[in-house]
A and B are shown apart, each in its own frame.
Chain A
Amino acid sequence: MRRPPRDNADGVRRFTRRGLLLGGLQLGFMGALGVRMHYLQVDQADQFRLLAEENRVSVRLIPPERGEIFDRTGRAIAVNEPSYRITMIREEVTDPRAVLTRLARLIGIDDAAIEAALEELEQARPDVHVTVADRVDWQAIARVSVNAPALPGVHPDVGLSRYYPMREDFAHVVGYVGPVSDYDLSRIESPPPLLLIPRFQIGKVGVEAKYEFALRGKAGSRRLEVNAAGRVMRELDRRDGTPGANLQLTVDNRLQNYVQARLGEQSASAVVIDLASGDLLAIASTPSYDPNLFVRGISVADYKALTDNKYRPLASKSVQGLYPPGSTFKMVTALAALDEGLITAEDTVWCPGYLEVSGRKFHCWKTWGHGHMTLEAALTESCDVYFYDLALKVGIEKIAAMGHRLGLGEAFNVPMSAVAAGRVPTKDWKLQRFGKDWVLGDSVNAAIGQGFVLTSPLQLAVMSARLATGRAVVPRLVKTMDGVEQPAPEAAPLGLNENHLRQIRQGMFAVSNNRRGTAFRSRITAEGMRMAGKTGTSQVRNITAAERAEGVTSNEDLPWDRRDHALFVNFAPFEAPQIAVAVVIEHGGGGSSAAAPVARDITLQALYGDTPPLSAYPSGDRDRIKALQERLERERRNDRQPGRGRA
């Protein structure tokens, strides 16, 4: 033994002591670990379990299928078409550039698109589908699928996108959809999560926008189990959404198409309204545009072409365009006077060609005057002085009230964009607006639909319909929603004296059937189809005394935007009215020469439901009409070639 036993025994004892102490510490620490484990796993289990669930479950939205839109005959106006796109996921590919180059050779995408895709891939999360090529054709999808092994990370994808088979015809009515913009989101209080999906499309204008909520439907959802990188492992459950409601419009696509074609390249609009139900059978505005351009994202050049066009193709003139109604307003003035009992239809007014009011001469369109005028004659020949005289008798307040009763100055609840209220002026209005008192001259101007009066073509059509029926016809654009008939607004009687109405209608009948009528040349000769109407020519400028003296009043001598608006309102058939029509041709010249023939053609087309027989036209006109019909027929055929303009 090298060491003394005492030393050794002491060492062993100390060693044992310290060994036990350290061992005790170790076991104590393990006890603490156990306590901690109990705290985390048992005491706080609920809280952590919830956190784990949040961790692993990701809720994804299933965009609902947007409701489709049909015309009253069931023809599709807005449909959903499968749209194919090609996407790429970064984490599945090692060399995106090489794969994209290969893909480009296969389906032909240009270098700029490749660079854009690469940039987007760089920025997006690694597991996100990045669109490489949008709206590719089926063949491209097939090629990609066949070559899938050579294209790692590339996925063909199918979605739905909006398509408007009628293109220009319904652009202003139905509008179009487009991706949600920041501006759209800023207008909504708390946007539903569906709108936050990239490239989700919502209605931007027209019915698409106004019925957005119904058309959109309810989003479904999928609960997915995801890993830490967000990659989907499996679907836990799925709740399908509700597809959007299908809409059926009151518009007849054939008539609408005809009206658009008949208005042609003019800056014009027309409304055809069904008298029984208030259904809008056609509501047209020209020139128009192809809404499909907007769905795909319109090019800057195309958009500039639309906004720079002086005919304003983007404007929906039938509801949004406001024009002085001109002589089409004369029925309002006359009815107001009759209703107040201030005149009878037989009372005559002497028209010397002008009326002097407060020292100012108000001219009749017929410089040398009409002579003695009764109500019917005044309407037939559109004598201005007769109505100047009525205005002085009745006063503007009664005229305005009558205008409102007939639907003027009222913004109808039609689901189109920017429906204008127009204006039927009153004394209060002028005081508020201009701070000036109403003068008699204002009444005189208003009596013939000039001055402060502004109306939209839709309002004029409604006015015509109310005159024809004596009821408060309200326009309706949506016929059924998801097959359920939408309630037609009740057309309550206007409470007007039927005798007065008949006298007005008689005057309107004479306009287009009396040899002296301003629209006699545009009459309908078919028995039982004849129409009653009223021409209107509204000035957009003041005729100076110098001009009058020189006689420079011919529209042809003026630049387009200073010519008169041509208007025409009518209803037909006179004996048993079915429809009312309003036509406004911007700067078209005279109501009788420019607007009345168009309105007549539209009326006949609507009444016959197809191309009317030539016998319905005055015999002298038939050759010209035949040529026109053939031309329109040709244009419409070309226009309806299926597949044109599709990507």
Chain B
Amino acid sequence: MSYLEYTVRNVPAGPRKILYLNWPLVLLLTAVASVGFLMLYSVAGGDLARWAEPQMKRFAAGMAGMLVVAMVPIWFWRNMAALAYGASMLLLVAVELFGTMGMGAQRWIELGFMRLQPSEMMKVALVMLLAAYYDWLPIRKVSHPFWVAVPALIIALPAALVLKQPDLGTALLLLMAGSGLMFLAGVHWGYFVAVIASGAGALTAVLQSRGTDWQILKDYQYRRIDVFLDPASDPLGAGYHITQSKIALGSGGWTGRGYMQGTQSRLNFLPEKHTDFIFTTLAEEFGFVGGISLLLLYALIIAFCIATALSMRDRFSALLTLGVTLTFFLYFAVNMSMVMGLAPVVGVPLPLVSYGGSAMLVLMLAFGLVQSAHVHKPR
């Protein structure tokens, strides 16, 4: 469908658009972000100004951004997809050249007022471009090898750049979100089977390459894999993250130690307690009940988005919504797996809860796109 097919009559226009926002989604996002504020306040030991307040401001800014994006017709964003992707690619290259080192990886560009993390922008831009691509591509050509190779390249380029930073977590996220979108667009099963098989082969190669001259990953990444497989092997060194976060979770029990009573994170046993490992604080202080509640909020967001996507009329909106949903899911699924000792520690934040500017803003803008698709759905 092209925007010409939207008629002024069945698409909301002007201030009335506000009414057509997906309000439950807005409420859910706010609820999740509020959990984040609560936890950041607790982790800072009752200090509002340290993390909770900046996070609130960012969320407010993100919310405003989301509403602005939502008010702009979805076809405009479709036309912007290539531009967004191109800009993100440029920034990724720029970060490679001028980026700041943080935690052993080049990840952001210091802009003064904020740290720009191009890999975060790329997550949304990639989804946008792929959705636009499949919107443009006739369905019967979808499984044609050439038309499969094009999106594969679109995905592989930024993933490779991010991997080089090195940021294995985000690279994997890009790959998974991109291929998920291709799958949704209807690419033939065979391709995925082939990719998964070759991926398994590649993984074997990566593990086998260890200790040789052409070693693919950095030593610390290998160690993390080792420790992931057996955290007890190095409880004070590499296994420290996982062991301590499991202790935090486990000591929470059914109902937790009570708000501000968690000892693991407040006493700094947990590194990155306000960013990647913030879930442990929640789980320690509010126990299983608190953890499962957050998981339910996330599940509701996913469910709402999928339901919206399935009711979309045009391919771009539907693919974009599902793509954003998938990205969002991948964020918290990887983060929680990592915290619960089911995945290696790869440095992926808990969406909307972890302290951090880029991720929060980008996610809110992405949900702005989802809202825009929802608002401008022909009725």
Chain A contacts to B: CB under 8 angstroms: 2-3, 7-8, 10-11, 14-16, 18-20, 22-23, 26-27, 29-30, 33-34, 36-38, 40-42, 44-45, 47-49, 51-53, 55-56, 225-229, 233
Contacts and interface: CB of A to CB of B under 8 A. Distances in A.
Interface residues of B, number: 52
7 contacts: A22-B322, A26-B302, A30-B299, A36-B342, A52-B263, A55-B269, A227-B268
Interface in B147-203: 180, 183-186
B288 interface: yes
B299 A27 contact: yes
Contacts of B341: 40
A467 B287 CA distance: 84
B251 A48 contact: yes
B91 interface: no
Given A33-B340, A36-B342, 9 more contacts: A11-B315, A33-B337, A41-B249, A48-B247, A49-B250, A52-B248, A52-B250, A52-B264, A225-B263
Given A37-B295, A42-B288, A228-B268, A22 B337 contact: no
**Top 4 A-B pairs ranked by shortest CB distance?**
A48-B250, A52-B251, A227-B267, A41-B288
Given A37-B295, A56-B269, A228-B267, A19 B253 contact: no
B283 interface: yes
Interface string B294-323: 010011001100100110000100110010
B17 interface: no
Contacts of B303: 23, 27
B232 to A, nearest CB: 12
Given A26-B329, A30-B299, A42-B288, A48 B246 contact: yes
B80 interface: no
A83 B341 CA distance: 51
Contacts of B322: 19, 22
B351 interface: no
B254 interface: yes
B13 interface: no
Dominant SS among interface residues on chain A: helix
Nearest to B336: A33
A52 B251 CA distance: 6
B333 interface: yes
B140 A37 contact: no
B235 to A, nearest CB: 10
B292 interface: yes
Contact of B249 (A34, A40, A226): A40
A2 B2 CA distance: 10
Interface string B37-71: 00000000000000000000000000000000000
Contact of B251 (A23, A38, A49): A49
Nearest to B180: A22
A37 B288 contact: yes
Nearest to A48: B250
B265 to A, nearest CB: 10
Given A18-B186, A56-B269, A30 B298 contact: yes
A37 B340 contact: yes
A631 B333 CA distance: 94
Contact of A37 (B249, B263, B325, B329): B249
Contact of B268 (A37, A52, A229): A229
A258 to B, nearest CB: 62
Contacts of B246: 40, 48
Contacts of A227: 267-269
Interface in B234-271: 244, 246-254, 263-264, 267-270
Interface in B272-303: 283-284, 287-288, 291-292, 295, 298-299, 302-303
Contact of A233 (B2, B138, B267, B342): B267
A77 to B, nearest CB: 47
Nearest to A3: B138
B74 interface: no
A316 to B, nearest CB: 50
Interface of B: 2, 138-140, 180, 183-186, 244, 246-254, 263-264, 267-270, 283-284, 287-288, 291-292, 295, 298-299, 302-303, 306, 309-310, 315, 318-319, 322, 325-326, 329, 333, 336-337, 340-342
B324 to A, nearest CB: 13
A52 B186 CA distance: 49
A51 B245 CA distance: 11
A625 to B, nearest CB: 76
A331 B299 CA distance: 105
B250 A47 contact: yes
A49 B253 contact: yes
Contacts of A8: 139
A41 B254 contact: yes
Contacts of A228: 267-270
Contacts of A233: 267
B249 A22 contact: no
A22 B322 CA distance: 9
A72 to B, nearest CB: 54
Contacts of B252: 41, 45
Contacts of B299: 27, 30
Contacts of B291: 37, 41
Contact of A51 (B247, B268, B284, B340): B247
A373 to B, nearest CB: 86
Contacts of B254: 41-42, 45
A37 B302 contact: no
A7 B141 CA distance: 11
A45 B251 contact: yes
A23 B323 CA distance: 11
A40 B2 CA distance: 50
Contacts of B292: 34, 37-38
A11 B186 contact: yes
A22 B183 contact: yes
Nearest to A229: B268
B135 to A, nearest CB: 11
Given A26-B302, A33-B336, A49-B250, A15 B288 contact: no
Contact of A225 (B180, B249, B267, B306): B267
B318 A15 contact: yes
A34 B333 CA distance: 11
A30 B288 contact: no
A7 B315 CA distance: 13
A56 B263 contact: yes
Contact of B295 (A10, A34, A49, A51): A34
A37 B248 CA distance: 12
Name, among A34, A47, A225, the residue most crowded by chain B CB atoms within 10 Å (CB to CB).
A34
Name, among A3, A33, A44, the residue most crowded by chain B CB atoms within 10 Å (CB to CB).
A33
Contact of B310 (A19, A37, A41, A55): A19
Name, among B268, B303, B319, the residue most crowded by chain A CB atoms within 10 Å (CB to CB).
B268
Nearest to B298: A30
A226 B263 CA distance: 10
A38 B186 contact: no
Name, among B184, B267, B299, the residue most crowded by chain A CB atoms within 10 Å (CB to CB).
B267
Contacts of B263: 52, 55-56, 225
Nearest to A27: B299
Contacts of B287: 41
Nearest to B240: A228
A51 B250 contact: yes
A84 B180 CA distance: 70
A16 to B, nearest CB: 6
Contacts of B186: 11, 14-15, 18
Contacts of B249: 37, 40-41, 48
A365 B309 CA distance: 127
A255 B263 CA distance: 63
Contacts of B2: 2
Nearest to A39: B340
Contacts of A22: 180, 183-184, 322, 326
